[in-house]
Structure 1
Amino acid sequence: MRFVIVFLLIIILSGGLLLSTQQSAGLLTPMPTETQLTHDAWGHTLNNTQVFSPDDQWVVYDTRNLDTELGKNGSVRMLNMRTGEDRLLYQTQNQTEHGPGVGAATFSPTQQRVLFLHGLRNANAGQPYAMTGRTGVAIDINQPKKPHFLDARDVTPPFTPGALRGGTHAHQWSGDGERISFTYNDAVLEKLAVDNPAVADLRTVGVMIPGKGVKVANGNNEEEFSGEGFAVVVTRMTEKPGLGSDEIDRAFDETWIGREGYRKPDGSRQRYALAFQGNVRNAAGQTVTEVFMVDLPKDLTKPVAGQPLAGSPTTRPNPPTGVTQRRVTFMETGIEGPRSWLRSTPDGSLIGFLTKDSSDYIQLFGVSPNGGATKQLTNQPFSIQTPFNFSPDGNFVAYAADNSVFITDLRTGQPQRLTPRSTDDDGPINGVIWSHKGDCVVYNRYVTTPQGRYIQIFRLFPFK
C-alpha cells in the first residue's frame, strides 16, 4: 500500500513538473491548423517582411529554392490568398546562372505595387550578379512584366546627385509608402580597393524617394541608367573605427521606426527615422554589432558643403544635410543570432533585436529609439531561429523557434507554440510575416515530393 501511495505521488509531481515545463514553452494552448498554400515544383521564397498587398489579397514571392541563389533566379510571382491563383509578375530576359537575377520582393503598404532587387541586365560570366551591381525595380500588379527602374545608376564621373554607383537590395517601404530604405554596396570603391588597400567598399544604408526621378546623362545602357527615384546614402562609415568609439565600418539590416516615426523625449515627433545594425570596435579591438539609428530630414536632396551626395572618384557617397546618426545600445556582446533585420513596433516606441540571454539562448530584446536600458521580450528554453515581426497592433511578435512557429504576447511575455515541432530539415524558415489585418501569418518550409524538395508557402490563423 505504501508503495502504491509513493508511486501515485511521483506521478502527480511529475505531471505538475511537466505541466509547468509545457506552460513555460507555450505548449498547452490548442494549436491552430496550418495550411500549405503552394505545391508547384519551384521555390516560393518569401521576403522576411512586407509580403502582403495592402488589402491582404495577395502575397508576393520569388522563385528561388535556395536563399543564396538570387543571381540564378529569374522570376517574381504573387499568390492570391482567397482563390489560390498564382500569377507571374516579372520574368528576366536572357536569365543564366550568372544573372541578371531578381528576388527579395516586397509589397507597398499603400499601393498595388511590388518592389524587388534586380541584377544588372548585361550580367554574364565575366560580369556576374554581384552586390555592387543591382538595383530596385517596381511592378504595378495591374501592369505585370512592365518594370520601373527606381534607383538610377551612374559609375562614370562626374557622378549624378540622386543616382548611385553600385547596388541596392533588401528594399523596405516606410509605413506611408513614401520612402524606401535599402542596403548599399559601392562599385566605384570596390574597384578602387583592388589596387589601394586603404580603401574599402563598406556596406551602408540608403533611402530612396519614389517619384522623384533622376536623369543620368550617359544612362542609355544596361550598366548605367536613369531612375524613377532619388536615392542617397544616409549612414556615415569609416574604414578603421576607433577602439571604443561610435564609429562604424558596416551598416546593415535596417528598419523604419514606427508607421509615423517616434516621439522624442521633448514630446516632438521625428517623422522619418531608421534603426540599423552597425559594427563598432570595442576597447579590445573586437567587432561588436550594436543598434544605431538615423533621424532623417524632410528634404534629402541637399548636400553638406564640400560633401557631394554622389561622392567622388575616390570617396564614397555622403549623407544629405540634416541627417543625424547616433548609437542606441551599448552591449558587451552586441547583436547575435541568425541573420535578422531590426524591427520596430508600429507606434515607434521600441526597436527589436536578437541577442543572447543569461542562459545563452538567442532571445528578442527591445530598446527605445531614445536609448536607455534594453528589455528582454521573449524568454524560452531554446533560441529564436529566424527573423521576427511585430503584429500590426504591436501586441505580439512572431518568429520560429524550436522548429515551430511561435508568437509571444508582449503584454504578458507568454509564448504560444502555433505548429508542432518539426525536424531540423522541415522547420519554418525565412521569418514569419503578419497580414495587415493581423489575423494570419505566412512562412516558408521545405516540402519533399516525388518531383523534388521545394520551398512552399504556409499560412495559419494564430487566434483561431
Structure 2
Amino acid sequence: MKQITFASRHHQLTNTNTWTPDSRWLAYDVRPSGASFTGETIERVNVNSGEVDVIYRATHGAHVGVVTVHPAEDKYVFIHGPENPDAGWHYDFHHRQGVIAHNGQVSRLDAMDITAPYTAGALRGGSHVHVFSPDGQYVSFTYNDHVLHERDPKLDLRNVGVAAPYGPVTPQGAHPREYAGTFWSVLVSHTTPMPQPGSDEINRAYEEGWVGNDRLAFIGDTVSVHGDKVPELFIVDLPKNEQDWKRAGDTPLQGMPDTMPAPPAGVAQRRLTFTHQKVFPGLVNVPRHWVRSNPQATQIAFLMRDDNGIVQLWLISPEGGEPRQLTRNESDIQSAFNWHPSGNMLGFVLENRIAQCDAATGEVTFLTSDHGNPPSGDAIVFSPDGDRVAWMEETAGFRQIWITETA
C-alpha cells in the first residue's frame, strides 16, 4: 500500500473514472466530506511522484467537486455550483451544472432554461455525477428539476440524463441564472410521483452506469403491492444519431410547467430485475453503489442481499434473464465497486480490506491486509492499465488517497 496524498486536508475520489488515461494521475476534489459541497478546487496527483496540479479553481463564491476523467484525453468533467450564491439561489440538487476543463479551457456542459417556454436540449435544473461514455462522446448524469421543485419539492424526482455533443444550446429567457451549454442535454429515464404498486413504474432513477456506448443502466425505485420501496435495475437504449437525440416523443424534450423534461422518441426504460418476492427484495442502497457493466458490455454488476441477508455482488445480462449471484461471502461487501479493465475481476471493500473477486467464479483475493482505518466505501477505482487500484481512508484525521498493486 502506498499513500499518495499527504496535505492536511481531505481528498475525495469520485466513484469511477478518476485516473487519467495514462494511469499516471488521479483526479479528485477537496470536499471535507462526500456530503459537504464546499471544495474550491479540482486537482490531480501524480501517483509516482506525488506532484499535485490544480486543474480548476472556483471563483465568486462557487464550489466544485465530483470530478471524472475522459477515457482518452486530458479532459475533466465535474459539478460546478452557482457563482455569487445568495438566499434565493445557492448550491442545491437543482442548482448545479456540469463543467468541462480541457487544455486550460473551461466550458459549460449543460444549458439551463427555467423560463417558459423552455428550450429543447437545455435542462431546467441541476446535473450531477457526470461520467463520460467509454468512447468519450457522451456524458451521463443524474438530475433534479428547479421548475418542479418550485411548484412542490415532492414533484422534483431524481432522473438520469445524457449530454450529447450536438450543441451548443442557447436559451432565450431573461432569468439571470440561465446559461448556455456546449452539449445537447436530455433526460433518458421516466419517473412518476406515485408509481402503481407492483408495476414497473418508478419515482426515482439514479446510480447509473454505461453499458457500452449506447446503453445506460440505472437503479429505479419501484413500489411493491404492500407499498414498500423496492429498488430494481433498469436499462435504456440510447439514440443512434443526432436526429434521434433531438426528436421528441409524446411529451416535449424540455418539459412543460407541470411536467418533467422527457426522453427522446423511442427511448423506453426496460426493467431487468424482478425481486419483489425475494426474502430481501431489491438492490441495496447501503452501501451506496453505482451499477457497472464490464468493458465488454455483456454483464451488469450490482449489489443485492442473498437469502441470508448478506450484501453480495450479482451479475445480469443487459438483455435480461435471471441474475447470477457472483460472490458468496460470509459478510457484507462494504463499498461501491468497479470492474478491472480486463473485465476479469471486480474490486471492492470486504472485511475492511481492499479485495477483488474473479468475475467468473466469485473467488475473492485480498489486495491489502492491515489498515490504520477502514477504507472508505465511496470509491474503489482501478487504473486504466489495470496495474493499480485507488481508494480513500482516514489518515491522521484527514481523508487521503491510497493505492496498491493488483497483482
- TM-score bucket (shorter structure): over 0.9
1:73 maps to which of 22, 30, 39: 39
Matched, 1:153 2:112: yes
Matched, 1:292 2:241: no
1:58 maps to which of 6, 25, 30: 25
CA contact (8 A) 1:46 1:444 kept: yes
Superimposed CA distance per residue, residues 332-372 of structure 1 (whole angstroms, 9 cap, x where no aligned partner): 31011311000001111111110111222111111111111
Superimposed CA distance per residue, residues 354-410 of structure 1 (whole angstroms, 9 cap, x where no aligned partner): 011122211111111111111111121111111000111110000011111000112
Q: CA deviation at 1:216?
A: 1.5
1: CA distance between counterparts of 2:389 and 2:80?
27
CA contact (8 A) 2:82 2:89 kept: no
1:200 maps to which of 155, 158, 163: 155
Q: CA deviation at 1:56?
A: 1.5
CA contact (8 A) 1:169 1:183 kept: yes
Superimposed CA distance per residue, residues 405-434 of structure 1 (whole angstroms, 9 cap, x where no aligned partner): 0001123321011112446x4434322101
Matched, 1:420 2:369: yes
Q: CA deviation at 1:313?
A: 1.3
Q: Superposition pairs for residues 207-226 of structure 1, below 5 Å? A: 207-210=162-165, 212-218=167-173, 221=176, 223-226=177-180
Q: CA deviation at 1:442?
A: 0.7
2:183 maps to which of 216, 221, 229: 229
CA contact (8 A) 1:404 1:428 kept: no
Matched, 1:310 2:249: no
CA contact (8 A) 1:400 1:431 kept: no
2: CA distance between counterparts of 1:167 and 1:87?
27
In structure 2, the partner of 1:14 is none
- Where is the helix percentage greater, Structure 1 or Structure 2? 1
CA contact (8 A) 2:375 2:391 kept: no
CA contact (8 A) 2:380 2:390 kept: yes
Q: CA deviation at 1:211?
A: 5.6
Deviates more, 1:427-436 or 1:183-192: 427-436
CA contact (8 A) 1:154 1:219 kept: no
CA 1:126 to 1:160, structure 2 compared with 1: closer, same or farther past 3 Å? closer
Partner AA of 1:38 in structure 2: T
2:263 maps to which of 302, 319, 325: 319
1:244 maps to which of 198, 202, 221: 198
Partner AA of 1:462 in structure 2: T
In structure 2, the partner of 1:87 is 53
In structure 2, the partner of 1:439 is 387
SS at match of 1:188: helix
2: CA distance between counterparts of 1:445 and 1:211?
40
Q: CA deviation at 1:324?
A: 2.1
1:175 maps to which of 119, 128, 134: 134
2: CA distance between counterparts of 1:168 and 1:206?
8
CA contact (8 A) 2:239 2:245 kept: yes
1:408 maps to which of 357, 368, 375: 357
Structure 1: runs of 5 or more not aligned: 1-33, 261-271
1:277 maps to which of 219, 223, 236: 219
Partner AA of 1:202 in structure 2: L
Q: CA deviation at 1:122?
A: 2.9
Q: CA deviation at 1:125?
A: 4.1
Percent identity reads 37
In structure 2, the partner of 1:20 is none
SS at match of 2:148: helix
2: CA distance between counterparts of 1:241 and 1:316?
15
CA contact (8 A) 1:153 1:219 kept: no
CA contact (8 A) 2:326 2:360 kept: no
Superimposed CA distance per residue, residues 164-214 of structure 1 (whole angstroms, 9 cap, x where no aligned partner): 0000001111110011111000000000116xxxx6111000000136211
1: CA distance between counterparts of 2:137 and 2:221?
28
Q: CA deviation at 1:218?
A: 3.5
SS at match of 1:189: helix
Q: CA deviation at 1:123?
A: 1.6
Partner AA of 1:63 in structure 2: V
2: CA distance between counterparts of 1:167 and 1:428?
26
Partner AA of 1:457 in structure 2: I
Q: Superposition pairs for residues 118-157 of structure 1, below 5 Å? A: 118-140=80-102, 142-143=103-104, 146-157=105-116
Aligned residues: 399
2: CA distance between counterparts of 1:61 and 1:250?
27
Partner AA of 1:136 in structure 2: G
Partner AA of 2:60 in structure 1: N
Matched, 1:390 2:329: no
SS at match of 1:289: strand
2: CA distance between counterparts of 1:278 and 1:421?
37
Structure 2: runs of 5 or more not aligned: none
What root-mean-square deviation, in Å, do the aligned CA atoms of Structure 1 and Structure 2 show?
Answer: 1.5
The structure that has the greater radius of gyration is 1
Matched, 1:375 2:324: yes
TM-score (normalizing by structure 2): 0.95
Partner AA of 1:147 in structure 2: V
Partner AA of 1:255 in structure 2: G
Q: CA deviation at 1:126?
A: 4.3
